[in-house]
Structure 1
Amino acid sequence: MQVCIIVATDKEAEIIKGIAGLNLIISGIGSENSKKAVDCAAAKGFTHIISFGTAGGLSPRLKKGDVVIPEQIFGYKEEKAISVDSLWHKQIVALLKNPSFTLNTDCLLSVKDVVLEPAQKKRLYLETGCVCLDMESYFIACACSEKRMSFLSIRAISDTYAMKIPDWLPLCIESCGKFLPYLFIKELIKHPFHIKELICISDGFFKAKKSLRYVISRIYSSFPDRALSR
């Protein structure tokens, strides 16, 4: 059992930066980058993959910082869901049992386009029943299934179903996953009225980061091979 963690962005990589012995690949955003990351992991001999990072909430029950480790992953407008490795899922969930820790195992939805508006999130929730969304897990799961690799997704909520994301914010992250601070500052100067939304998003990322670091601290000792690979 050789475990590799795949994150989409450098900001998500920073969440677990400094934790010795974690195998980590920064994939970039979206379906094609996700598949390439699995190819890379397979070429390096990894057998178990975790799609790791933040997610947007679709269910009104989920708060910022809540963790979702879904049993099934859906792709938007895809016919079939993909189930995660059930035995591995049970093992990881058991390691995280804590009365003060909110953990959800309901379905996750992966989309190809950024979802910005609360109305979009509500529609997706009613249409699919999935509790949260990202842009990578389903595509990573598909690639893992083709290669007979075990797969899990571990996500923490950074923006809830009611939060609006400024339309320019996703443009500040390159497709390779690199955050562009100069572009962020430029856009913020042009859109100062978005400061309230940005403060809320920043708070959500902080809470998601805290939860994900807790998750890693609880589960990484169960990984037999923890040599760092970037």
Structure 2
Amino acid sequence: MTAAFSSPDDIGFLVGLKAEASLLRQFFPNAPIAISGATKEGARKGAARLTACGVPSVVSFGLAAGLDPALRPGTILIPDVVVKDGKLFPCSPSLRRTLGADSVPGVIGGALLHSDEVVLTEEEKQRLSMASGCCALDMESGFLAVAAQEAKRSFGVLRVVCDPADRTLPPAAGIALSPDGGLGVGPLLLSLLRDPLQIPALIRLGSDASRARQAMKRFLELRNSLAGADRS
């Protein structure tokens, strides 16, 4: 059984997927979790629900797309700042420390870019990297940053790189999810029937996602272990 994180009731989480929520439950069994379904409207509503529930700190959690070519699948990100629509939203330094930014080796800080849309191609990732200077992107953090600022909540991000900067995703990856954060089987199968050549790339994406989640689980276990040693 996995030990729970310290002070879990003080933090609420916004995630994109059910799988991310399931991983969180192992470490934050009582924390409020909102699932966006990896959609713009879902992320906005989830961020509003989370900041309204009364927790003093909120964290955007889950997978991210790499923009820096040096970041491979499984790289842990605890950014210093989130960029949305050209505006900077600093992450709480104390919350970054609580999440393990200073105590766990190999964590990447820097800037995280918010995107309203799924970014599929290597070319678009390269363009966004050059335009923003950010090392990675996701689809929830910007909405949570805005909501946290308005509600005067501490805000942070804990993400792990899934698809690297040099990876172009198949079109099916952009429609594979259902609004509740699960797998949208119907649209996915229809896309694969139209273009079966997507299958190898989709399998590779699944492998990257599994690697990323395993890396996140190891990170949280190590963070727990270090936090426990500090308290003893």
TM bucket normalised to smaller: 0.7 to 0.9
**TM-score for both structures, normalised by structure 2:** 0.84
Q: CA RMSD in A?
A: 2.3
Question: 2:78·2:101 contact (CA, 8 Å) conserved in 1?
Answer: no
C-alpha separation in 2, matches of 1:18 and 1:139: 25
Matched, 1:16 2:24: yes
Which amino acid in 2 is paired with 1:10?
K
Q: Which amino acid aligns with 2:150?
A: E
Q: Which amino acid aligns with 2:75?
A: D
Counterpart in the other structure of 2:73: 64
Given candidates 140, 144, 155, the residue that maps to 1:151 is 155
Q: Secondary structure at the match of 2:100?
A: helix
Higher relative contact order (CA 8 A, sep 6+): 1
Alignment partner, residue 125 of structure 2: 121
Equivalent residue letter for 2:127: R
Q: Distance in 1 between matches of 2:154 and 2:42?
A: 19
The one-letter amino acid paired with 1:9 is L
Distance 1:97 1:111, change over 3 A: same
Could you tell me how far apart the structure 2 residues matched to 1:113 and 1:125 are? 15
Give the aligned partner of residue 130 of structure 1.
134
Deviations 1:112-144 (A, max 9, x none): 121111000011111111000111101111100
CA 1:215–1:25: 2 relative to 1, 3 Å: farther
For structure 1, which segment, 82-91 or 212-221, has the greater mean C-alpha deviation from structure 2 after superposition?
Answer: 212-221
What is the TM-score normalised by the length of structure 1?
Answer: 0.85
Contact 1:27 1:34 in 2 (8 A): yes
Map of 1:62-211 to 2, 5 A cutoff? 62-75=71-84, 78-94=85-101, 96-98=103-105, 102-211=106-215
* Structure 1 unmatched ranges of 5 or more: 224-230
Comparing 201-210 with 162-171, greater Cα deviation is found at 162-171
Query: 1:34 maps to which residue?
Result: 43
Give per-residue Cα distances to partners, 1:14-57, cap 9 Å, x unaligned. Answer: 33344433432213324432232233223322111110000100
**Number of residues of Structure 1 aligned to a counterpart in Structure 2:** 218
Q: Deviation at 1:159?
A: 0.2
Partner residue, 2:57: 48
| TM-fit CA distance, 1:203 | 1.4
Q: Is the 8 A contact 1:10 1:179 kept in 2?
A: no
Q: Is contact 1:96–1:215 with CA below 8 Å preserved after alignment?
A: no
The answer as to whether partners of 1:172 and 1:180 remain within 8 angstroms in 2 is yes
Question: Of residues 15, 34, 58 in structure 2, which corresponds to 1:25?
Answer: 34
Structure 1 CA distance for aligned equivalents of residues 26 and 221 of structure 2: 12
Provide the rounded CA distance (Å) in 2 between the counterparts of 1:94 and 1:208. Answer: 18
Q: Deviations over 1:133-177 (max 9, x none)?
A: 111101111100100001111111110011111123221213442
- 2:5 is matched with none
Question: What are the ranges of 5 or more consecutive residues in structure 2 without an aligned counterpart?
Answer: 1-8, 228-232
